[in-house]
Structure 1
Amino acid sequence: MTAEMPGWPDWEKRFRAPRVSLPDWAEDAPDRSLFVSNATGTYELYAWDRATGEQRQVTDRPNGTTDGVLTPDGQWIWWFSDTDGDEFGVWMRQPFAGGGSKAEGGGADEPAAPGLEPSYPAGLAIGRDGTTAVVGRSTDEEGSTVHVVRAGAEPVEIYRHRESAGVGDLSRDGTLIALEHTEHGDAMHSALRVVRLDGTTVAELDDTKDGSEELGLEVLGFAPVDGDTRLLVGHQRRGRWEPMVWDVASGEEVDLALELPGDVSAEWYPDGSGLLVAHSFEARSELFRYDLAERELIEVATPKGSVSGATARPDGTVEYLWSSAARPPQVRSTSGAVVLDPPGMKAPGSVPVEDAWVEGPGGRVHALVQKPAGAGPFPTIFEVHGGPTWHDSDAFGAGPAAWVDHGYAVVRVNYRGSTGYGREWTDALKHRVGLIELEDIAAVREWAVSSGLSDPAKLVLSGGSWGGYLTLLGLGTQPESWALGLAAVPVADYVTAYHDEMEALKAMDRTLLGGTPEEVPERFEASSPLTYVDQVRAPVYISAGVNDPRCPIRQVENYVDRLAARDAVHEVYRYDAGHGSLVVEERIKQVRLELDFAARHLG
């Protein structure tokens, strides 16, 4: 367990303080749980027997492990084993009772799906007795495949397609499989297919088939009742994500028509009588119970802030992972208890977030602002989120809090393409990729300066993944706007990135840009930071994982070579991991390097 050491500044304590995820629990053995924690300094999986209180570390790998699943009977833990963060690997398993970690001598881990070659994961569903599993896979050579894996037998392929697809869920009786697929070529809007274990089709649901609107569907889960053929589905028919119940045997669709203004997701209560509804709107979230018999929506009280995960327990209580920008995360229960409180140092809090609404070229843009004590204008870092289909929220972040500690205001912009503001806002990101988001960021930048928040001579553009991409693109297309750029695991050369990235992201890029680099070269050129690299004037710091399958290292090196060729001020940090790091000290090192780079170049 990480112990508190004297002399650590608050910003480092926020990273080092032990954290836990929302515990998952076994459907038929609810006292058996699985969670993720950084207690050793690296994010790993932990098993927790609630009946005895015993906790133990399940995995122990140099670059960490976060993908794990309990079998419904609670007997086994499946976890995904890749190589140094490259996301390409196989599923392993070990008994819940232990023996798998190196600290305990190892030797208990075994291949969970013998006969399946390494791949990128594309969904997993496990039968109640633990002997049958449905494994989704993705590779550059095969595209998407789905296999049924039974104990003692060779895996059987039941699905294959070049476009993206994955496993959504397996019915409680183990006879039906719900798949999400994009055979129509639109990687942003999935269709659904329910098949039997032999791959024969039972039902189809496709909201893109008439071509009039781009509407997506997602699998939220089969009803937790034997013989029940109801499937909970997310849809976008009213301009936002919301749930409905689809009986895959009869074809009946029950529209819940929840009168909530933001995006809505849901999962079943364990007895199937109701739904636990999660509502996300304007960077905050809240929970409700929806009673299916009474068709009644009842609020589940949570504090103001963000719920990043929630689950209903068999006794009817709800456990949820909550935080706000000012308060670190906690796993809470509607019973009033803190469910899982890691021992050791507690993370210091930070300052609350303030909302800013700015008129942009595509409508009102929502930005979240944190600022240090005192009067502005402040040096300001625009911390741009990744995704792009994601959004910043009123949730705790050790990174933004570190910049506030160092005297910076932090501005986070939910640009067009972000989730949580309706389908039209998310789907606005097409063809002029990158340039659209930067228009919204520019509008907020102008507001930040004119309002007196920000010092126009000390504006930093920063982000990771898609945010790193927007950082490099912004430094080249808006060179007079930014004094400094910090880009982590970015797309830097869009054409090379397309050819080197994992297959699922190729499909997403074809959807966003309307084709391949060979089919629409002008769009890739217009959206590539490499096109504008010679216009970059601000000092730029880039960090990249050498094993990254999402923003591969070769395309970053192409961009860096162009900077170096004209002696542009830049620094590059390469580290041995994938798309980010799960090692706490490595993450602290990266933030320290960014803070130092900013201090040296901004004064």
Structure 2
Amino acid sequence: MTTHTDDAMPDWEKRFRAPRVGLPEWAEDAPDRSLFVSNATGTFELYAWDRATGIQRQATDRPNGTTDGVLTPDGEWIWWFSDTDGDEFGVWMRQPFGGGPDEPAAPGLEPSYPAGLALGRDGSAVVGRSTDEEGSTLHVVRPGAEPVEIYRHQESAGVGDLSHDGDLIAVEHTEHGDAMHSALRVVRTDGGTVAELDDSEGGTKELGLTVLGFAPAAGDSRLLVGHQRRGRWEPMVWDPLTGTTTDLDLGLPGDVSAEWYPDGSALLVVHSHQARSEMWRCALTPDGLGTPERVETPKGSVSGATARPDGSVEYLWSSAAEPPQVRSTTGAVVLDPPGMKAPGSVPVEDAWVESPGGRVHALVQRPAGEGPFPTVFDVHGGPTWHDSDAFAGQPAAWVDHGFAVVRVNYRGSTGYGRAWTDALKHRVGLIELEDIAAVRDWAVETGLADPERLVLAGGSWGGYLTLLGLGTQPEKWALGLAAVPVADYVTAYHDEMEALKSMDRTLLGGTPEEVPERYAASSPLTYVDDVRAPVYVSAGVNDPRCPIRQVENYVERLEARSHPHEVYRYDAGHGSLVVEERIKQLRLEIEFAQRHLPGLPSAPA
């Protein structure tokens, strides 16, 4: 493992270079065998961990990194997804848990975008695929046999889970045409339908379902499902063989996700509310749930959790001020990588601001000293995502350089109820920017932010909102930093992967040819000539989500105006898994801000 111990290295770089690990996933029938992701070599890769012997080994080693991997139930094999330079288009490979050569895991299946994977105890697998030509397909793969296609549809679909005995397959699909709200179907391995669960029926396409997992016991057909029937994500149990559903109302105000305890007697619940998380153990009774028991965690965010066979819970926890750790309810730190430790940062403060769509929640980090500060509005991607009280190297770096950082959970964000998430349809981008502008004005009025040194920044959907905001709100921003953005919405639609085309049709109500006025109103390219602030753009040349051609179209328009801008193109996809590349990209953004904003403090030593 490669580590860096240079005491002269600035803290912001240490946060990226310090070795970190993800939450270990363990084999269902061999719980001492685990798989986790780490950046210990400087690139995020998969690692196998035999808990019985303590031996850890690096399982994958690719120039652009690897993060998608699964253990077979018996722990004998590691499946991992092999794409090309981050383009997300590839095939599943596998290797023995103890090491050995990689081999195709599903011979006979052509490369595709992944659409779910479930592995059976008999060596079989259910592989979900997505291509622009075929749409979504699901295939049953058995040892020594040709893959058998059991599902095909042009709209988005994917593998949800495979039952313990391997007879039932849960499928998430959007055949009704609403890519934001999935319906569920349970089929047998020959593709025959067992049961349907569709909350979009009756012409209402505003409720979604998601698969949380089959019960972990032979002969148990119960499926844990997430639903939105009360306006937020909550779990329920559905038995597709009997058609019965058991409502699991915990009475918690935020979104609730859950997974089974290994013996099926209880659920491990992660409750997300107002950008923070808490955990509960909920026993299952014949009538539903027993009294929830709090699983104590520090204040902050749980970004992943799993119940172990001994009843303990392992979870990945962090806060804005404290770096992530894989902890256990036994009190132990589960994985503590050797080498340099990431320095902490400053805690977040909560801000609630009235906007045209209601109260907006923002997270604020302040540097030392008195304001008003130069301020970065760091806009999250998704859009169905939310910023939380969790550790992040990028905002911490800006704070180190004397900036305040504001992160806005605009309409479209998760974690604040279904109505908030679904609010951005048709006026895509413009609605989110109304919320960001309201928080921007609050930050100026309260003396937090210097109105002459306001930076709009973000990656992916956040990069899109950055470019759109620079054009539609030119008087509000002094600088723009857009990473892997949507810049020309029409070209992006035609070049992106099919699953994202479905999402855009849902968000905007059709294709660019069907609703051209909506695409024009929501496209940064429409407003490029109104941009006043200097613009920095970074883009991956292999990006299937925000493809490079549409970024170049936007840049050419800036060049035609001789508008101040810089572009950084790198050989990867939608972001990078290489630590030094991430540091380089952030350094370039900071240096761009230092050149173009007046009166910034000196860089930290």
TM-score interval, normalised by the smaller of the two chains: over 0.9
Pick the aligned partner of 1:124 from 99, 108, 117.
117
The percentage of aligned residue pairs carrying the same residue is 84
| Structure-2 separation of matches of 1:432 and 1:256 | 35
Partner of 2:311, secondary structure, is: coil
Partner of 2:280, secondary structure, is: strand
Aligned to 1:52: 53
Partner of 1:145, secondary structure, is: strand
Aligned to 2:193: 201
Counterpart residue type for residue 113 of structure 1? A
| Structure-2 separation of matches of 1:289 and 1:46 | 29
1:144 aligns with 2:149: no
Aligned to 2:564: 569
1:593 aligns with 2:588: yes
Partner of 1:137, secondary structure, is: strand
TM superposition shift of 1:6? 3.1
Aligned to 2:508: 513
Pick the aligned partner of 1:249 from 241, 246, 261.
241
1:112 aligns with 2:113: no
TM superposition shift of 1:212? 3.2
Query: 1:399-548 residue pairs with structure 2 within 5 A?
Result: 399-548=394-543
Q: TM-score, normalized by length of structure 2?
A: 0.98
Aligned to 2:329: 334
Partner of 2:527, secondary structure, is: helix
Partner of 2:424, secondary structure, is: coil
| Structure-1 separation of matches of 2:186 and 2:6 | 54
Query: 1:31-180 residue pairs with structure 2 within 5 A?
Result: 31-99=32-100, 108-129=101-122, 131-180=123-172
Asked if 1 retains the 8 angstrom alpha-carbon contact of 2:178 and 2:205, the reply is: no
Consecutive unaligned residues of structure 2, counting only runs of 5 or more, are: 599-605
1:317 aligns with 2:312: yes
| Structure-2 separation of matches of 1:97 and 1:440 | 51
| Structure-2 separation of matches of 1:295 and 1:229 | 21
| Structure-1 separation of matches of 2:416 and 2:172 | 23
Counterpart residue type for residue 281 of structure 1? H
| Structure-2 separation of matches of 1:248 and 1:316 | 28
Partner of 1:265, secondary structure, is: strand
| Structure-2 separation of matches of 1:220 and 1:213 | 21
Asked if 1 retains the 8 angstrom alpha-carbon contact of 2:78 and 2:95, the reply is: yes
| Structure-1 separation of matches of 2:370 and 2:576 | 36
1:27 aligns with 2:22: no
What is the RMSD of the two structures over their aligned residues, measured on CA atoms?
Answer: 0.6
Pick the aligned partner of 1:302 from 291, 297, 300.
297
Partner of 1:533, secondary structure, is: helix
1:187 aligns with 2:182: no
| Structure-2 separation of matches of 1:3 and 1:85 | 26
Partner of 1:359, secondary structure, is: strand
Partner of 2:292, secondary structure, is: strand
Counterpart residue type for residue 424 of structure 2? L
1:268 aligns with 2:260: yes
| Structure-1 separation of matches of 2:521 and 2:4 | 50
| Structure-2 separation of matches of 1:421 and 1:26 | 34
Counterpart residue type for residue 179 of structure 1? V
Partner of 1:74, secondary structure, is: coil
Segments of 4+ moved more than 3 angstroms: none
| Structure-2 separation of matches of 1:560 and 1:7 | 37
TM superposition shift of 1:295? 2.0
TM superposition shift of 1:296? 1.8
1:426-466 deviation per Cα after TM superposition (whole angstroms, max 9, x unaligned): 00010000000000000000000000000000000000000
TM superposition shift of 1:4? 1.2
TM superposition shift of 1:3? 2.9
TM superposition shift of 1:388? 0.1
Pick the aligned partner of 1:376 from 371, 384, 387.
371
| Structure-1 separation of matches of 2:241 and 2:146 | 29
Pick the aligned partner of 2:206 from 209, 214, 217.
214
Pick the aligned partner of 2:388 from 393, 410, 420.
393
Partner of 1:586, secondary structure, is: helix
TM superposition shift of 1:374? 0.8
| Structure-2 separation of matches of 1:65 and 1:283 | 28
1:457-496 deviation per Cα after TM superposition (whole angstroms, max 9, x unaligned): 0000000000000000000000000000000000000000
Counterpart residue type for residue 392 of structure 1? D
| Structure-2 separation of matches of 1:213 and 1:492 | 29
TM superposition shift of 1:503? 0.5
Counterpart residue type for residue 295 of structure 2? V
TM superposition shift of 1:305? 0.1
| Structure-2 separation of matches of 1:43 and 1:216 | 32
Partner of 2:551, secondary structure, is: helix
Partner of 2:476, secondary structure, is: coil
TM superposition shift of 1:7? 1.5
Partner of 1:296, secondary structure, is: coil
Consecutive unaligned residues of structure 1, counting only runs of 5 or more, are: 100-107
Counterpart residue type for residue 436 of structure 2? I
| Structure-2 separation of matches of 1:372 and 1:527 | 34
Aligned to 2:279: 287
The verdict on how the C-alpha distance between 1:307 and 1:467 changes in structure 2, with shifts beyond 3 A counting, is same
Partner of 1:460, secondary structure, is: strand
TM superposition shift of 1:213? 5.1
| Structure-1 separation of matches of 2:173 and 2:266 | 27
TM superposition shift of 1:290? 0.7
1:149-190 deviation per Cα after TM superposition (whole angstroms, max 9, x unaligned): 000000000000000000000000000000000000000000
Aligned to 1:225: 217
| Structure-1 separation of matches of 2:121 and 2:592 | 52
| Structure-2 separation of matches of 1:432 and 1:314 | 48
Partner of 1:480, secondary structure, is: helix
1:75-100 deviation per Cα after TM superposition (whole angstroms, max 9, x unaligned): 0000000000000000000000113x
1:370-392 deviation per Cα after TM superposition (whole angstroms, max 9, x unaligned): 01011100000000000000000
1:192-217 deviation per Cα after TM superposition (whole angstroms, max 9, x unaligned): 00000000000000000112351000
| Structure-1 separation of matches of 2:134 and 2:143 | 24
TM superposition shift of 1:258? 1.1
| Structure-2 separation of matches of 1:473 and 1:297 | 45
Counterpart residue type for residue 447 of structure 2? G
Counterpart residue type for residue 173 of structure 1? D
Q: Would you say how many aligned residue pairs link Structure 1 and Structure 2?
A: 594
| Structure-2 separation of matches of 1:373 and 1:541 | 27
Counterpart residue type for residue 124 of structure 1? L
